[in-house]
Amino acid sequence: MPIRRRHTKSRPVDGARYIPGTLLLALALLHAGTTTAGMLTFKSGTRQVTLLELYTSQGCSSCPPAERWLNEYVDDAALWTRIVPLAFHVDYWDYIGWKDVYASAEHGERQRDYARAGKARSVYTPGLFANGREWRGWTLRVNPRASSKEPGSLSVTVTAGRVTATFETATAPYELHIALLGFDINTRVERGENRNSTLKQQFVVLAHESHVSGNGHWRVPLPQGKLTAPRYAIAAWVSTPGDPAPLQATGGWLPAMSGE
């Protein structure tokens, strides 16, 4: 199908509620403080952790099988330590009958950045990238090959509504990406290609921000999502400015919001 953009009106999906981002953040940190003294730290180690990006849409009938495959990483022993999965919902299928409230034009633009960089042959869903390279192994239900690169360690600390990060080998400007992820999201789709289906989605990117640093050190706000989810996690990765391919990644659960 040709790629087009058009927004259509729809009712909020089941289980999704809009709340102010500041309230969402305050609730997260309130509960986090009861188990972690208000501080969470995630470290990648020196070996490259695989950032696995799925570009998907609730309006795409080909996407649910890829999402079910990605969902299995929730219970994988390699989660966060060797692989960090994300699901970027794109809006370029909204016009065919169902508006995906988790989608944004920015997510689709990131996918196009990969195509412009020659790392994908076209822009489509479901589209997967492993460490910045187009990857289709999910159709065979195999995992991406672990990287042997050692780009250095990325350390991320979340405290008091801010993220402090260090990329230890930084010798030039680097870009830190931070994503707030939502889990156990159930959506009843009423129109479009997935009509009358209930989609269970994990690793949904609720908010994504990036920040450039010339010395490999950052202190920036934690991204604030507009939609709630039963569980949350944070994903962080570094890249060079102008290149979407990740160099190193880390992440982990936000226990406050996961009910742990």
Residue 19 sits at φ, ψ, to 5 deg, of -140, 155
Residue 253 in domain: yes
pLDDT band, residue 258 (cuts 50/70/90): very low
Which structural domain, as residue segments, surrounds residue 149? 21-258
* pLDDT at residue 35 tops 70: no
pLDDT of residue 34 exceeding 70? no
On the question of pLDDT at 245 being above 70, the answer is yes
Within-domain flag for 157: yes
pLDDT of res. 37: 56
**Distance from the first to the final alpha carbon of the chain:** 43
Query: Is the residue at 182 inside a domain?
Result: yes
231 found inside a domain:
yes
Reported pTM: 0.85
Judged by average pLDDT, the poorest of 18-32, 74-88, 159-173, 180-194 is 18-32
Inside any domain, residue 151: yes
Task: Give a yes or no: residue 12 inside a domain.
Answer: no
CA gap 201, 36 in Å, rounded: 27
Tell me whether residue 245 is in a domain: yes
Q: Does the residue 42 lie in any domain?
A: yes
The predicted-structure confidence for 146-185, as pLDDT tens digits, reads as follows 999 999 999 999 998 899 999 987 678 999 999 999 999 9
Provide the domain count of the chain: 1
Pairing of strands 162-167, 174-183: unpaired
